[in-house]
Amino acid sequence: MANKQTVVHLDQLCKAFAEGNQQREVLTAVNGEFYQGEFAVLLGRSGSGKSTLLNLISGIELPTSGEILVDGRSITAMKERERTLFRRDNIGFVFQFFNLIPTLTVLENVTLPMELAGNGRSATKSALNLLEQVGLADRRDTFPDKLSGGEQQRVAIARALVHDPMLVLADEPTGNLDEETGERVLKLLLDLTRKQNKTLIMATHSPEVVPFADRVFRVHDGQLLTTAEAQRQIHSVPTPFIVPN
Ligand SMILES: Nc1ncnc2c1ncn2[C@@H]1O[C@H](COP(=O)(O)OP(=O)(O)O)[C@@H](O)[C@H]1O
Ligand SMILES: [Mg+2]
């Protein structure tokens, strides 16, 4: 792990949600780092806090206490506007339910993040390039409801990468796809992020993802647990390893 550049640093991160007049803690003093170019997988039971953690790292939500640095910058110290701009520049997000805008074409969905970030001029070129890479350039003028789930998620992947973010967060990106389609979408997302040395943090229920990961974590009891470091095994037969409960 020598010379690994830290892209995400979590320091004593706590997140509680109000439940009646009680506060329920979902994350309790979570510490951790994610490195440049790595593919980190977050496992954990439904309700364990995986989405919460990704939303905090993206700056969509704020922690109850603690600090998050992304590329050395404290997103938790930023004002909302600054955090929004920082997210638009540096982070891509892939959701379980694609979250494409139904009234926009495929191409418009992909260019949107760049237009929001004020880079509208180069948006079309970058978007077409990415649509090419996800195999959907010929569907550029189609609307999302004409696409299959797998195709929609490929558009969402193009959208997440179009502004060339250093960090990509994916929340159960294959959770709404059949196994075969999910595998293709996963490979595509991995290929594209690896090729560009981006950090990918993925919450998932799919154990098939584990052999591809550089590191595997488990969100459990408010904690982010590291497992024995998974080896990079993209092209080899995965050896089984044990994820602690
Ligand atoms: N906005 C919210 N308000 C209240 N409780 C929430 C909110 N978001 C998540 N939670 C609660 O936090 C816990 C963790 O949720 P989540 O992060 O979505 O888990 P996971 O993604 O691992 O399934 C759950 O108990 C959930 O009900
Ligand atoms: Mg979730």
Q: How far apart are CA 4 and CA 33, in angstroms?
A: 10
Taking the CA of 46 as reference, the closest ligand is: 1
Contact 52, 171 (CB under 8 A): no
Evaluated on CA atoms 116, 117, 120, 125, the torsion sign reads negative
Say what the pLDDT of residue 243 is. Answer: 52
In whole numbers, what is the pLDDT of the chain averaged over residues?
A: 90
Q: Which residues of 196-217 are buried (b: 16+ CB within 10 A; e: fewer)?
A: eebbbbbbbebeebbbbbbbbb
Q: Are strands 167-171 and 199-203 parallel, antiparallel or unpaired?
A: parallel
Mutate to test the pocket of ligand 1, among 14, 17, 28, 225 (most ligand atoms within 8 A of CB): 17
CB contact at 8 A, 40 and 214: yes
Q: Alpha-carbon distance 68 to 65, whole Å?
A: 10
Tell which atom from ligand 1 comes closest to the C-alpha of 19.
4
pLDDT tens digits, one per residue of 43-101: 999 999 999 999 999 999 999 999 999 999 999 999 999 999 999 999 999 999 999 99
51 CA distance to ligand 1 middle (Å): 7
Q: For residue 20, give the ligand nearest its CA.
A: 1
Residue 203 CA, closest ligand 1 atom number: 21
List, for residues 93-134, the tens digit of each pLDDT value: 999 999 999 999 999 999 998 888 778 788 899 999 999 999
Q: Nearest CA to 16 among 4, 25, 7?
A: 25
Is the C-alpha dihedral spanning 59, 26, 206, 214 positive or negative?
positive
Q: Which residues, listed in sequence order, are joined to residue 223 by a DSSP beta bridge?
A: 220
Alpha-carbon distance 182 to 151, whole Å?
Answer: 11
Q: Please, are residues 201 and 34 in contact by the beta-carbon 8 Å criterion?
A: yes
What count of Cα atoms within 13 Å lies in the side-chain half-sphere of residue 105? 13
Q: What is the CB < 6 Å shell around ligand 1?
A: 17, 26, 44, 46-52
pLDDT: which is higher, 228 or 6 = 6
pLDDT tens digits, 151-196: 999 999 999 999 999 999 999 999 999 999 999 999 999 999 999 9
Map out the domains of the chain with their CATH numbers: 6-226 (3.40.50.300)
52 Cα nearest atom in ligand 1? 17
Sheet holding 167-171, edge to edge: 91-94, 167-171, 199-203, 39-43, 215-220, 223-226
Tokens of 112: 């949107």
Distances (CA, A) of 19 to 23, 24, 25, 40, 124: 6, 6, 10, 31, 45
